[in-house]
Chains A and B, each alone.
Chain A
Amino acid sequence: MRYWIVENEERIGPMSAEELLARNVTDETLVWHEGLTDWTPLGLIDELSSKLEAAKSAQNIANQDGSMPQQHATATESPVANTTKEENRPPCPPSNLVWAVISLLCCCFPLSVIAIIYGSQVSTKYNLGDYEGAKKASERAAWWTILSIVIGLVAQPFVMLFQMNGAA
């Protein structure tokens, strides 16, 4: 979808949602896209306002990772900051890191390294509002783990045979 916005009483666009959010926009910024009858405040366009909210909270998390005073960190984390829009977010998909690490340590087959890398992307993508990407990364992490476990199990009898021959 292409968006136009009003900035300093000037019409700017067309641009994608990402470009729009990269600008200094607020809930009050007037936005228009095809299908709207008139300029509409960003806060009233569900798709954009949820993305803006996600981008803001991602920034908060990034700030907390830095050396921000503890008091401020708890303030942004308080239930008041969790507006109703947060409830519209789909739940964060599992990172599946447990399985990747366990299968890696259990001599399945070291493909789980790839699973860990996909698993590490889940929360980052989710916090940026990329719910599709987070889900995909989560699923890929799961499949690489399953693949490494299956290879480990399937190869087990052959390894046994191989070692018995070697001993004999």
Chain B
Amino acid sequence: MKLPPSRTILMAGLALAIVVICVYYFINPVEDYSPKCVFHATTGWDCPGCGIQRALHAMMHGDFISAWKYNAAIFVFFPYIVALIVAEFLRESHPRFYSRVNSRKVALIACGLIVVWWIARNIFNI
């Protein structure tokens, strides 16, 4: 069976993501060099993803409390991303799960949460 192009890209992305996550076991963004957030550098404000590298590093070492402090949003969005990926692969066998996860309602809730988190973290310094 020929894979739809979106799934081929997803496979490549998934492989890359696993490599990146493993790399963060060894890189400590607090001390070592790591990519910097363009939004943070230009505006001085945190973006919704700021702290994710430190959080990943902490998580890879089992330190979930630090991870939570660096970027609490990942505890909401990692499960969402995993659900989206799983839904893509189970699209034929579980079409209802796919349409639920990709529905307008869920996507807009995710979008709203991200925007609220983005604003809140800059106001309350979290």
Contacts and interface: CB of A to CB of B under 8 A. Distances in A.
B97 to A, nearest CB: 12
B59 interface: no
B73 interface: yes
B108 A105 contact: no
Contact of A107 (B52, B80, B96): B52
B103 interface: yes
B60 interface: no
Given A105-B74, A116-B107, A159 B41 contact: yes
Interface string B70-114: 000110010011001100100000001001001111011011001
Given A102-B81, A156-B35, A156-B38, A122 B49 contact: no
Contacts, number: 101
A102 B84 CA distance: 11
Contacts of B35: 107, 156
Contacts of B17: 102
A98 B104 contact: no
A113 B102 contact: no
Interface in B1-27: 4, 6, 10, 13, 17
A97 B107 contact: yes
A116 B84 CA distance: 13
B29 to A, nearest CB: 11
Given A101-B84, A104-B114, A105-B74, A94 B6 contact: yes
A155 B102 contact: no
Contact of B110 (A77, A101, A160): A101
A50 interface: no
A73 to B, nearest CB: 9
Contacts of A61: 99
Interface of B: 4, 6, 10, 13, 17, 35-42, 47-50, 52, 73-74, 77, 80-81, 84-85, 88, 96, 99, 102-105, 107-108, 110-111, 114-115, 118
Interface of A: 61, 65, 77, 91, 94-99, 101-102, 104-110, 113, 116-117, 119-124, 127, 151-152, 155-156, 159-160, 162-163
Given A91-B4, A107-B38, 14 more contacts: A94-B6, A98-B10, A98-B84, A102-B81, A105-B52, A107-B49, A110-B47, A117-B107, A119-B102, A120-B108, A122-B102, A123-B99, A127-B99, A162-B41
